[in-house]
Amino acid sequence: MAVHEPAPIESAPLRELETAVPDPGAGEILVRIRTCGVCRTDLHVAEGDLPPRLPMVIPGHEIVGTVEKRGIGAARFAQGARVGIAWLRETCGTCVYCARGRENLCPNARFTGWDHHGGYAEFAVVRERFAYPLPDTIGDEEAAPLLCAGIIGFRAIKRADIKPGATVGLYGFGGSAHIALQVLKHWGCRVFVMSRGGVHRDLASQLGAEWIGDADESPPASLDAAILFAPAGNLVLPALEALERGGILAIAGIYLSPIPQLDYQKHLFYEREIRSVTANTRADAEEFLKVAGEVPVRTHTVAFGLSEANVALGMLKHDEIKGAAVLRVS
């Protein structure tokens, strides 16, 4: 399912495409895809908020599958091993950011489903150094959302400098937030959820949120930290207002609508901070997948067929999915 021309998802910009099975190069593996998660970033690529960097690009970067073929020198995974492919597909390894352990900021980074074909397909190729072993205790459909929604949520937790026992606000509650909430509860945090959607509120309650309110509503107590998952810049202001002195707001999305004018005294004084989240490092992914197995994280998924990718993205756009959507490929 490829993006032929970016357009509103209601016009079905993804269409079926028959193409040759890719051949893995040196150090690469060919993965037969079982499932692929449906992410809001895929929606941004399909609609052109993130203009595709590859003609007829195949979206999808929450890929679960098995190693079908190994290129020359690829020996990290055995034939038939189950692996995951995430958003970060390759980095240069030599720039100052890579040298500092911040490869997510590499100016030469390339991304799955944007720079390279992704997982809305039967096969995908990736460098074996950018693939991940998956916990045996987590099934294919449950594992798919961990590979972006889970990893990015965990990166946001780290960027917000959240410690066990903290009081945390989550603004927007979908695929990423419902995973982050489970990690935070595992750490003994108080978690308040601000969300506009009924199905999202139900899930937040089931997963142990202490309080649930409207998207722009003030939580019942000041926050040590907050994470903004919704791509709504207008929510930056109420989130900052809810922070305690020294609190940090992490913005988890790759895209955000314009932020209204800030009032320095009201929103930023007393060393409140705003921090963006840009992709993730492989170390983030490895750390999170370990934590996910320990919690254990249980993702709530709604499955679609591969040919229903437009439908899944449309429901995601209109907040009609409880948890995370996944495509069943094979």
User: pLDDT (tens digit, 9 = 90+) per residue, 57-109?
Assistant: 999 999 999 999 999 999 999 999 999 999 999 999 999 999 999 999 999 99
**Residues 232 and 157 occupy one common structural domain:** yes
**Residues 124 and 264 occupy one common structural domain:** no
| Mean pLDDT across 232-248 | 97
Domain boundary among 258, 276, 294: 276
pLDDT in tens, 175-217: 899 999 999 999 999 999 999 877 788 889 999 999 999 988 9
DSSP 144: G
DSSP 50: S
**Residues 76 and 119 occupy one common structural domain:** yes
Residue 254: per-residue pLDDT: 83
Cα–Cα separations (whole angstroms), residue 60 to 89, 118, 122, 169, 172: 12, 5, 11, 28, 22
pTM: 0.89
Q: Which domain holds residue 323?
A: 2-148+279-328
Residue 21: per-residue pLDDT: 96
Cα–Cα distance for residue pair 202/145, rounded to 1 Å: 19
**Residues 196 and 216 occupy one common structural domain:** yes
pLDDT in tens, 12-28: 999 999 999 999 999 99
Number of domains in the chain: 2
